[in-house]
Chain A
Amino acid sequence: MVAIDNFQENLDKVSFSNLVNFLKIDPSSDSDTCPTLANGGTYTKIIDHNLGYIPHFEVYQENSSGAIVNSQMQVVSEMGTDSVAMGYPNAMDFLGNTTGYIYVTTTQLIIVMANNTGSSSAAFKFWWRIYIQYGSQD
């Protein structure tokens, strides 16, 4: 076994330290599939991160039209249109004309998808990434 003192004296051999504030991803980051939704149907994904503070996050979906196209993704959490009449203000434009909204609390990330198109929506895969907070604060 290599003594820890030896390790400390040979920092040139260290290529990465997990103790510095890289843009680290919380282990709760994962993916899921929104199933086919009938008109009026909803699909809610609740992710328990339990970080105790408000983390930053991104939500992505496969960008495809019936088939996966080079696994392209788009950041749905950066998209949206105001649609007060639908009862979903700033609804996200998910695939298959599915709308929804995304928010985060100190313990959870909630992704809600709703189909208000008048017909069935297509299933699609989506991902979420929660970034752990480091650094100083102003």
Chain B
Amino acid sequence: MTDYGKSLRFVPQHSFKNNKLYTGSFQITGSIPPGATTNTFTKTLSQIPDMVAVVFNTTSTSSFYTTPYPNTSWWKQGLVADDAGGLGARWSISWKINGTTVTFTATTVNTTTTTYTSASPTVNYRLIDYSVF
């Protein structure tokens, strides 16, 4: 069988390819102090990517879950509900990358005046590495 992948050497311009998909999750836990709060989580990639894209998903639901996305959906921007003690806390999720280290950041959207214990929502992610040939 001919290896058609060899034909790539004849492509005159650089192209992106789907190199690798990373999946995983992180959990927001612990005692959340008053005011703006951030929690960070890291993921190490096997190589430095040229370009990445990330989507998120969470199964966190509560009576305060106002994000219109169904639980089966994946999104680039959304809020994660944290139904802790009826406070209706929510976290916005962002990410950045430096070398092979991806840092996910969860930031409180609506803050409280008292410390509360997180309901420990789990956030799943799918990160795809697009690399240049």
B42 at the interface (CB under 8 A from A): no
Q: Once bound together, how far apart are the Cα atoms of A137 and B24, in whole Å?
A: 11
Q: Once bound together, how far apart are the Cα atoms of A11 and B55, in whole Å?
A: 38
Q: Once bound together, how far apart are the Cα atoms of A90 and B130, in whole Å?
A: 26
A14-B10, A17-B4, A80-B77 as given contacts; A101 in contact with B17, CB under 8 Å: no
Segment 53-80 of B: residues with Cβ below 8 Å from A: 53, 55, 57, 66-70, 72-79
Instruction: Report whether B22 and A137 are in contact in the complex, using a CB–CB cutoff of 8 Å.
Output: yes
Segment 42-87 of A: residues with Cβ below 8 Å from B: 54, 56, 77-78, 80, 82, 84, 87
Contacts of A131 in B (CB 8 A): 18, 53, 128
User: How many interface residues does chain A have, given as a range?
Assistant: 35 or more
Instruction: Report whether A105 and B73 are in contact in the complex, using a CB–CB cutoff of 8 Å.
Output: yes
B118 at the interface (CB under 8 A from A): no
In chain A, what residue has the closest Cβ to B92? A82
Instruction: Report whether A92 and B77 are in contact in the complex, using a CB–CB cutoff of 8 Å.
Output: yes
Mask: chain A, 1-17; 1 = CB below 8 Å from B; 0 = not: 00000001001101111
A104-B75, A105-B72 as given contacts; A14 in contact with B22, CB under 8 Å: no
Instruction: Report whether A56 and B73 are in contact in the complex, using a CB–CB cutoff of 8 Å.
Output: no
Instruction: Report whether B4 and A20 are in contact in the complex, using a CB–CB cutoff of 8 Å.
Output: yes
Q: Once bound together, how far apart are the Cα atoms of A137 and B21, in whole Å?
A: 4
Instruction: Report whether B22 and A133 are in contact in the complex, using a CB–CB cutoff of 8 Å.
Output: no
Among candidates A17, A80, A90, A103, residue contacting B7 with C-beta atoms closer than 8 Å: A17
A17-B5, A84-B66 as given contacts; A133 in contact with B21, CB under 8 Å: yes
In chain B, what residue has the closest Cβ to A79? B77
A interface residues, Cβ below 8 angstroms from B: 8, 11-12, 14-17, 19-24, 54, 56, 77-78, 80, 82, 84, 87-90, 92, 101-106, 110, 112, 131-138
B interface residues, Cβ below 8 angstroms from A: 2, 4-8, 10-11, 15-23, 46, 53, 55, 57, 66-70, 72-79, 90, 92, 109-110, 126, 128-130
The 3 closest A-B pairs by CB, nearest first: A17-B4, A103-B73, A134-B18
